């Protein structure tokens, strides 16, 4: 019936149709009106039809209505990712978001394009006309009270409105002002009034141990437990690989297979083995955990894994996609035990060229589990045993593969990452900077190689699957970034040409201002996502790319395994829905991981303020405005604002032409890229913002200085592979 209605609305010359019109044209009796209404409601929620005045229905494009998913920023602006992949992102101004919330599916009317745009980007704006589907109906926040009513201030600054709630009563009468609570939203008809809701859970005082992480879990809808049926199915898989499991598989147990992972990892997705074929060629076996052997389609275990989408790595725990009996045990490629894998066997030339690839099911017996620091230590000395020698050869080959990748146009977008270690009371004990060194690059290059080989094979077979895509950035964003670079007297070519982007990134790597500008470039890029259309990966410069190498923690990889080895792919329509769902769960996990870090860091900084002895930190100026300047503080992996009002020893004026602040009294200059010293001044957990104080002045520098910058940010916008 859905297709019949769609076909009817697509007929040339057809006007918007009412339910009565649809019944008449489909020659259906009036008794089927409720059925037609139900189908129309489903089509409207999916964005495939639009309802206009007079309860008439039309194809969305006929009224310039575009369905998609909206993403909000903390300043209230929205960005629509249209369902149609051929359409560009649409910016929704703060006053045009209606009652849409972050990640809702909405219907947007695109603005008529003005003949002369008022400013860059005005030609691609729109307004929300209807919320099709709420992404989240429950919100976590802090209970507050005014003279007349109670309300909840959402934890997420992207939710700009407080939520009115009735006075706590019944099971929730113990809720106190200042408590963290969970609120379920009721109807919300107008953005000019606050939404209403009701308290459905009391989390407790924000100062009570564990409430901070519980708030993050509840806000992002992350489950603490698996359903019993899922745990039972996982246990039925057993504890060891048996002879029936090994049947029909290539026996690679005699190969010197190893794994390389973080020191605290337990879910080992990938392993490899390398041997020389002759003087000019290498054979590389890339083994990936065979999750598809244990997780069958449409079982309770499979449905739960799809719903979760991926594992989430919070600062104090892991929320796994699969029960630990599989993720940390039977599927994990542990040393000293038999494990089932899907193997990508690659024949490589000595210069890193891929000559041939094969794909098959295998069984391995890993000889040793290495951590990244252990591998780095081995690579820095002469090898003294066979596995060490294999690591040295693997490193040399990986670097050649890496060189070829960058020669093909791949972009160096990596930043160091931060890892927070907590004490037994859940407080920040230390913050570690994790650099993408040679040990990480070894594994990264082999995994990228496997992902590309699998994508190429599936496209050759013409099997629909889920691809990992990273779309080309919009020309307008690149032009704006280029103007920013040129304003600092840094040479910059046409950034629509990939070789010019590479030249610029290389140049920025040698300048003190480089890390700050690189963050700006990352912000101009699209975010990597999943799609059925093989649109390629801009950052990696790969026309064919998918995710294959982490099926323990990513459901997309599991789908790709099934498509390649079992040819049990989903219909394209179901694949599209799954790809969108997995893109959402990935973003949700990334937000949760960031929130868990920030929550602990905010508490850490507030404790500094209470002590009266805040620490000094090295920082980098990343943006300059007329009200102050933003900084990135690598040591604590946070950014924040230094407000002009806090600079009491001089009066600073904003020079918009040079994008810098100049002191009227001492002529001190504050500009992008300046290294400075700061200390925490104010922490606002509601807005999730930190203000800093400047405690030393920057050293003067020339933007053309070629000395490599030692202060590099540890966090920033990213486009994950």
Q: State the pLDDT at residue 696.
A: 63
Q: What is the dihedral of CA 346, 349, 355, 360, to 10 degrees?
A: -10
Judge residue 448's burial from the number of C-beta atoms within 10 Å of its C-beta, 0-12 exposed, 13-18 middle, 19 or more buried.
buried
Alpha-carbon gap, residue 585 to 304, rounded angstroms: 13
19 neighbors 5 (Cβ within 8 angstroms): no
Q: Report the SS3 class of residue 477.
A: helix
Give the C-alpha distances (Å, rounded to integers) separating 615 from 71, 463, 606, 635, 677. 36, 57, 12, 11, 10
385 neighbors 565 (Cβ within 8 angstroms): no
Q: State the pLDDT at residue 97.
A: 93
673 neighbors 513 (Cβ within 8 angstroms): yes
Q: State the pLDDT at residue 120.
A: 46
Mean pLDDT in consecutive groups of 10 residues from the start of the chain, 721 residues: 81 79 85 86 79 78 83 89 86 92 91 54 78 91 92 91 89 89 91 92 92 95 96 95 95 97 94 96 98 96 98 96 97 97 98 97 98 97 95 98 96 87 91 91 98 98 96 90 89 93 92 84 92 96 97 98 87 92 96 93 92 90 90 87 89 86 89 90 85 73 39 40 69
Reduced to 3 DSSP states, what percent helix, strand and coil does the chain have, rounded to the nearest 5? 30, 30, 40
| Alpha-helical runs (H) found in 220-299 | 228-236, 243-246
Alpha-carbon gap, residue 327 to 320, rounded angstroms: 7
Residue recorded with tokens 């300059």: 624
Strands of 90-92's sheet in order across: 90-92, 78-82, 65-72, 105-110, 126-133
Residue recorded with tokens 């002590």: 611
Distance, C-alpha 108 to centroid of its chain: 24
| Alpha-helical runs (H) found in 532-614 | 555-561, 572-611
Q: State the pLDDT at residue 177.
A: 93
Dihedral sign (CA 619, 621, 623, 627): positive
Residue-wise burial string across 222-236, b where 16 or more C-beta atoms lie within 10 A, e elsewhere: beeebeeebbebbee
699 neighbors 675 (Cβ within 8 angstroms): yes
- 0.75 exceeded by pTM: yes
Q: Which of 440, 434, 438, 437 is nearest to 418 (CA)?
A: 434
Alpha-carbon gap, residue 652 to 663, rounded angstroms: 4
Q: State the pLDDT at residue 690.
A: 93
What domains are there in the chain, each with its CATH number? 2-60 (1.10.10.10), 64-133 (2.40.50.140), 138-208 (2.40.50.700), 228-471+526-597 (no CATH)
Alpha-carbon gap, residue 67 to 59, rounded angstroms: 11
């Amino acid at each position: 019936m859905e297709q019949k209605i769609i076909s009817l609305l697509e007929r040339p010359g057809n006007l918007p149709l009412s339910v009565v019109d649809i019944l008449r044209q489909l020659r259906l009796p009036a008794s089927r009106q409720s059925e037609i209404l139900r189908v129309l409601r489903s089509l409207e929620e999916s964005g495939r039809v639009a309802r206009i005045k007079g309860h008439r229905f039309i194809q969305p494009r006929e009224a310039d209505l575009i369905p998609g998913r909206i993403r909000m920023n903390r300043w209230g602006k929205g960005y629509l990712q249209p369902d149609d992949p051929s359409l560009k992102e649409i910016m929704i101004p703060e006053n045009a978001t209606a009652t849409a919330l972050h990640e809702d599916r909405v219907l947007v009317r695109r603005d008529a394009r003005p003949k002369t745009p008022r400013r860059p980007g005005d030609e691609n704006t729109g307004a929300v006309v209807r919320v099709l589907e709420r992404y989240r109906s429950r919100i976590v926040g802090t209970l507050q009270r005014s003279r007349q009513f109670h309300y909840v201030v959402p934890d997420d600054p992207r939710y700009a409105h407080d939520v009115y709630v009735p006075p706590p009563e019944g099971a929730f009468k113990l809720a106190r002002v200042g408590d963290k609570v969970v609120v379920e939203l009721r109807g919300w008809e107008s953005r000019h009034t606050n939404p209403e809701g009701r308290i459905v859970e009391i989390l407790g005082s924000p100062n009570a141990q564990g409430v901070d992480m519980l708030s993050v879990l509840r806000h992002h809808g992350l489950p603490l437990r698996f359903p019993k049926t899922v745990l039972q199915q996982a246990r039925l898989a057993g504890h060891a690989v048996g002879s029936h499991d090994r049947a029909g598989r290539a026996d690679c147990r005699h190969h010197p297979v190893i794994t390389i992972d973080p020191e605290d990892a337990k879910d080992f997705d990938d392993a490899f083995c390398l041997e020389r074929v002759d003087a000019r060629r290498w054979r590389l076996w890339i083994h990936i955990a065979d999750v598809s052997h244990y997780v069958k389609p449409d079982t309770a275990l499979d449905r739960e894994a799809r719903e979760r989408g991926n594992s989430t790595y919070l600062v104090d725990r892991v929320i796994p996609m699969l029960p630990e009996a599989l993720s940390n045990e039977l599927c994990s490629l542990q040393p000293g035990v038999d494990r089932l894998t899907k193997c990508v066997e690659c024949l490589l030339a000595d210069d890193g060229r891929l000559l041939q690839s094969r794909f098959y099911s295998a069984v391995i017996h890993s000889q040793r589990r290495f951590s990244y620091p252990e591998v780095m230590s081995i690579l820095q000395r002469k090898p003294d045993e066979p596995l060490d020698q294999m690591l040295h050869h693997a490193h040399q080959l990986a670097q050649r593969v890496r060189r070829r990748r960058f020669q093909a146009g791949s972009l160096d977008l990596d930043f160091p990452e931060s890892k927070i270690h907590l004490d037994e009371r859940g407080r920040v004990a230390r913050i570690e900077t994790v650099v993408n060194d040679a040990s990480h690059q070894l594994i990264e290059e082999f995994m990228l190689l496997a992902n590309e080989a699998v994508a190429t094979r599936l496209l050759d077979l013409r099997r629909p699957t889920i691809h990992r895509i990273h779309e080309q950035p919009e020309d307008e964003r690149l032009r704006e970034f280029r103007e920013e670079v040129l304003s600092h007297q840094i040479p910059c070519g046409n950034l629509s040409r990939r070789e010019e982007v590479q030249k610029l990134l290389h140049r920025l790597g040698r300048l003190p201002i480089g890390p700050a500008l690189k963050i700006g470039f990352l912000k101009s890029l699209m975010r990597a996502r999943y799609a059925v259309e093989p649109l390629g990966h801009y950052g990696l410069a790969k026309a064919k790319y998918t995710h294959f190498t982490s099926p323990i923690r990513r459901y997309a990889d599991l789908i790709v395994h099934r498509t390649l080895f079992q040819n049990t792919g989903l219909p394209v329509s179901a694949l599209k829905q799954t790809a969108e769902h997995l893109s959402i769960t990935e973003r949700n996990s990334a937000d949760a991981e960031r929130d868990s870090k920030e929550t602990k860091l905010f508490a850490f900084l507030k404790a500094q303020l209470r002590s009266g002895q805040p620490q000094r930190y090295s920082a980098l100026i990343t943006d300059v405005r007329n009200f102050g300047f933003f900084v990135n503080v690598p040591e604590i992996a946070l950014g924040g604002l230094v407000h002009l009002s806090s600079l009491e020893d001089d009066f600073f004026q904003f020079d918009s032409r040079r994008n810098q602040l100049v002191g009227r009294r001492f002529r001190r200059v504050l500009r992008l890229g300046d290294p400075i010293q700061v200390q925490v001044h104010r922490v606002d957990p509601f807005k999730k913002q930190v203000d800093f104080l400047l405690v030393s002045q920057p050293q003067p520098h020339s933007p053309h200085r070629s000395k490599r910058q030692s202060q590099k940010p540890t966090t920033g916008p990213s486009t994950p592979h």
